[in-house]
Amino acid sequence: MPSALILIADGTEEMEFTITYDTLVRAGVSCTSAFVSSEKRDGNEQNPPFAHGSRGINILPDTYFSPQAATPDKYDLLVIPGGAKGAETISGSSPVQHLVRRYLEDGKFVGMICAGSLAALRSNLPKQPLTSHPSVRDQLKDAFEYSEEPVVVSGKLVTSRGPGTAFPFALTLVELLCGKEKRAEVAGPMIFPKRTFA
């Protein structure tokens, strides 16, 4: 069974987190959400707090983010959702930046959506095709081959644009991890309107 680690922080965009998490679970992917804190903590707390989403919705993560527990030998996919504040916290974390590079070096997938694509810049990834939310385009367009496609796949790096592209982003991750048949199997019962991305 493939496995995914989905990062979350205060200010994470709720749709990008939940749609991705839910869609992967529907495909049989074992998912774990990990809270990346913007505060210094003593490390003795066992249970993470609620993450306060960008729209004020509280989401309870599965665990605290731990670089030692998040290594690419434990997961097949690392996901970084957007939301301006959450993306700033996650992409600004040096342990996350290190893991992004390690996942890609080890041939594992990394998904970034919306402002989460800033993690590609902060992780010093090489110039390659990429997309993001328009609000962070100017920070990325010179360092990458910027695209306005809903989902961009560059080797093992998968990027997307925002809440409205969360379903094609998540379904693309399903296809890459589990195959085209599984993507169709998951998308069917969701009842997308005709002529959409499913």
Q: At what angle do helices 84-91 and 94-105 cross, to 10 degrees?
A: 70
Q: Is 133 a catalytic residue?
A: yes
Choice among 13, 14, 31, 133 that is catalytic: 133
Both tokens assigned to 137:
């385009």
How far apart, in whole angstroms, are the C-alpha atoms of residue 20 and residue 107? 21
Choice among 13, 14, 31, 114 that is catalytic: 114
Q: Is 98 a catalytic residue?
A: no
Residue 151, strand partner residues = 160
Residue 35, strand partner residues = 8, 64
Choice among 16, 31, 175, 178 that is catalytic: 16
Q: At what angle do helices 180-187 and 166-178 cross, to 10 degrees?
A: 140
How far apart, in whole angstroms, are the C-alpha atoms of residue 162 and residue 87? 12
Instruction: Spell out the alpha helix ranges (H) of 51-134.
Output: 84-91, 94-105, 118-122
Q: What is the DSSP letter of 117?
A: G
Catalytic residue numbers read 16, 114, 133
